[in-house]
Structure 1
Amino acid sequence: MQNTVPHPLLAAPRSDGKFLRVAFLFALTVHVIVLLIPWKKEPYVPQPEPVIEGIVLTPYDIEPPQPEVRNIVEIEPRTRKVPLPSADPEPEMLEPLSEEVYVDQPVAYEGETDELLLDRPEPPAPGIYESWERDLVLPVRLASSADPEYPELGVVSRTGGMVILQAVVDETGRVVELEILRAPVPDVGFSQAALDAVAAWRYRPGTVNGRPVAVRMTVQVEFSLE
């Protein structure tokens, strides 16, 4: 009898399919166990909002100037004594009429011109007047305005706020100076939108003694989606 040795290429096939199935089931079991384990989450600690340090000027922080005291010159009345006619006046001799022509000439009164002009209002002093000053007879009034453009980030985040500006309106009613006094936090473009809008506004200027003057005032611009 002859013994035969099996050829390596003719050996029985390994059960690779069964091995892969077992490995897949093991990996799936491990993932399920990991997902079921309760993981401890760290507590959420809210971060404090940043604080913007600044000084906000209010009308009560500035002491209004004292009214100017003007010296009033009293004009003494000038009198002239006129003699009374006698009981029996003598007949007055009339002079013959002359043919000379007289032309009225303006008479200059020395020393009395300044006294006659005391009641005339003085022109306003140069400079910028504050909106609360007593000398400001007619305050600044808004003539035309356009709503500011709402910032895109404010629309996305559904936020709003108020921007307080300090503006200088010149004698023609134009805004020539702007300064931010207060802005919302977080500021997602509200300050710039307020500056762009107020710079295009037009006002009726304030007046002192009937003449327009430059006035410094406070402007509030509110942003709200409601």
Structure 2
Amino acid sequence: MAHTLFRPTQPNRPQPLDATRIGAETGTIAINAVLLLVLLAPVAPRLVEHAAPRDPDVIFVRPVEPRPAVPAPTLPVTTTPPKAAEASKQQPQKAVDAAPPTDLIEPAPGDIAIDPPILNPVGTGERIIAPEPSADPGASLQALAAPPPPYPREAIRDRLEGTVVLDVHVDAHGRPTNVEVFSSSGHRALDRAAERQVLRAWRFRPAMQDGRAVPALGRVPVSFVLGE
């Protein structure tokens, strides 16, 4: 008969502590805790530097005093009715002496002055061709709109000044139809500026003869004066 051998069982012995493993696990847990705290910490708002507001630039403008209004000049005219025009072809024209130019209105510096018109030619001076006696000596041509011409840039650059006298042909409606230089300012740029402005922008009260409007001829000086 076989006998079974029984080996007595030994009780479980406690395992010794591994200090290296415990230290590694503890360090891992500490690192994870630090990372978690970093992720949970609120993000501080970024500080954006702004430029301090600067006082706006202030420009002081000196008010311009209004200039006194200059009354519209009344210009001498010579009307040419049809009968007088036919008679002028048969009769020779007479020469008379022109009066010296009247005093000019002193404009403000840098302005363009429309001078008083030259009145009926009398006395001595430059010779001009006078109209036929049939023209109405009492007729007058009054400017309704006479804006001064713009000062040419080249004339400002070269400091050009002068007075140009223009012969203005006006139709029965008061519109200039032709402008001619009677006396030059001595500078072509000033003469052309005055011609263009009078022909383009000036308007006159129609000359009247026998109760009806008729074409007329007037003479007007325009002065160009620069400031100091």
TM-score of the superposition, structure 1-length normalised?
0.41
TM-score of the superposition, structure 2-length normalised?
0.41
For the pair shown, the structure with the greater C-alpha radius of gyration is 2
Higher relative contact order, chain-length normalized (CA < 8 Å, sep 6+): 2
